[in-house]
Amino acid sequence: MDDTNTVKHRWIDVDGVGTFYREAGPADAPAILLPHGYPCSSYEFRNFMPLLADGWRLLAPDFPGCGYSDTPEGFVYDFDGYATFLDRFLNRLGIERFALYLHDFGSQIGLRLAIMRPDRIAALIIQNGDIYEDQLGPKYAALQEYFRNPTPEMRAKLGEAITEEGFRDEFLNDVRPELAERIPPDLWKLHWSLMTDRRRKITIGVIAGLKDNLAWFPRYQAYLREHRPPTLIVWGPQDGYMPEGSARAYLRDLPDAELHLLDGGHWLLETNLAEVVALVRDFLPRVWR
């Protein structure tokens, strides 16, 4: 029986890091790398992957310290560390060229990976991932307060949002009530159940590191301007962190990008899955070279 479209759940050793990942599609098909966002894991792509697996090889790893991957002592838990991890994960699987799905903090990690080896990027799919400081939404207010005053006390305050209720707020994130009904509580229940004291400390460090990540925003933008990868932008404007302006800002550096504003929020693969899949299925065959 052909089970190409079935999502496989696998573990692999990536330079000593026990790594969980989801895979679907033929091993010889063009690859799509799916780095996840916060506070999620590869679970966010569970419904997306089988709907594209007839023609693509989809790979969604859990970052170290997230989901079902290990939380090793020696790992560097910052955006550079995660980008290097993605590079080694791809090398371990023998993937040279790929399309890259950019969402949430996975967008910035993914762009660091693209900057490392721009020749590997066949196309970008960008979905609610911010790299324009002047377009940050109102939910960034608490983080921006920390950026202005990064004291130990303010850093500790960041941890107050790392709760089950805080996770729920991250996943519902300003969508209208009828859309919120489409977002399963499994998202915050599962990911909160996987949080440990050590992972919580790591998470606070990653969130605090967003301050230094702002300095990378011009570098991400320069990469886009210089290399002009074929790009599809699918965006949910009902997003307190990354509203419509965050999506339109990409057109400054990628004027040829295809932009689609959908009736959804930050987690489009929960609320607008069929629309996103249709757009990706139309886009990738046209641009893959």
The domain that contains 20 carries what CATH number?
Answer: 3.40.50.1820
Question: Would you say residue 100 lies in a domain?
Answer: yes
In degrees rounded to 5, what are phi and psi of residue 41? -160, -170
HSE, side-chain direction, 13 A CA sphere, residue 137: 20
CA distances, 150 to each of 155, 157, 188, 199, 211 (Å): 6, 10, 28, 21, 9
What was the pLDDT predicted at 157?
A: 86
- Residues linked to residue 124 through DSSP beta bridges, in sequence order: 100, 231
| 240, 138 contact by CB (below 8 A) | yes
User: What's residue 2's pLDDT?
Assistant: 58
- Considering Cα of 182, then 125, then 27, then 36, what sign does the dihedral take? negative
- Other beta carbons within 10 Å of 117: 12
Q: Give me the number of domains the chain comprises.
A: 1
Q: pLDDT digit string (tens) for 1-48? A: 457 789 999 999 999 999 999 999 999 999 999 999 999 999 999 999
Summarize pLDDT for 189-230 with one digit per residue, the tens. Answer: 999 999 999 999 999 999 998 988 999 999 999 999 999 999
Q: Is 138 exposed, middle or buried (0-12, 13-18, 19+ CB in 10 A)?
A: exposed
Is 51 inside a domain boundary? yes
Answer whether residue 181 is part of any domain. no
State how far the Cα of 217 lies from the Cα of 219, in Å rounded to an integer. Answer: 5
> Helix crossing, 105-116 with 79-93: angle to 10°?
60
Q: Is residue 157 part of a domain?
A: no
pTM over 0.85: yes
Residue 142 reports pLDDT greater than 90 = no
CA distance 58 to 20: 14
Q: Which of 121, 140, 101, 100 is nearest to 245 (CA)?
A: 140
Q: What is the pLDDT of residues 70-99, one digit of tens each?
A: 999 999 999 999 999 999 999 999 999 999
For residue 177, tell me if it sits in a domain.
no
Secondary structure (3-state) at 16 = coil
Rounded to an integer, what distance in angstroms lies between the CA atom of residue 143 and that of residue 147?
A: 6
* Residues whose CB is less than 8 angstroms from the CB of residue 3 and which lie 6 or more positions away in sequence, other chains included: none
Model pLDDT, residue 276: 98
Domain limits at 100? 8-137+216-287
Query: pLDDT tens for residues 219-274?
Result: 999 999 999 999 999 999 999 999 999 999 999 999 999 999 999 999 999 999 99
**Is residue 198 assigned to a domain?**
no
Beta pairing, strands 98-103 & 231-235: unpaired
Q: Hey, what amino acid is at 217?
A: F
Q: Distance of alpha carbon 200 from its chain centroid, rounded?
A: 19
